[in-house]
Amino acid sequence: MAEAIGVAASIATFVEISIKVASLCMDYAKKVRNAEDDIGRLRTKTEGIATLAKDIQEQIKSDKTGQLSTSQKLQQVVDQCCSQIGSVQKRLDPSTRRKFMSSIGLRLKWPFESKDVDKIILDLEKCKTDVSLALQLDTT
């Protein structure tokens, strides 16, 4: 039972962080110039990941056998994905200094270069694939 709560909690955290990253991307899109494409790509990918995580939450809730909620592999994959998306959130979350700069009219700077966004998107795509594979293994 504790494992079931662990997977559900990890997925809830994953959804929460993904939504926060997508929201931060929207904030940056309003305040930062010359990074619209990268911001849009990252926001789209995190919204897709959040949707996948929400779908997994629903599958776990409707899983009568309890297989999904006790899967060690699923737990590991979701924890890894949470860690990756969490590191993106930390870089996007405005620090006190940046909040101050913004409050006095200085523009925020997008914290990623295009190549960084490419790598993040590849990492998130790998997370999505790994979660899908873990789910397939658990349901067979």
Query: Does domain 2-139 sit in CATH 1.25.40?
Result: no
Read off the tokens for 119. 């790598």
What's the confidence (pLDDT) of residue 1? 47
For 70, residues 6+ apart whose C-beta sits below 8 A from its C-beta are 3, 4, 7
Sequence spans of domains, the chain: 2-139
Give the pLDDT of residue 43.
Answer: 92
Give CA angle at 53 (1, 126), nearest 5°.
110
Low-confidence ranges of the chain (pLDDT < 70): 1-5, 64-71, 95-107, 138-140
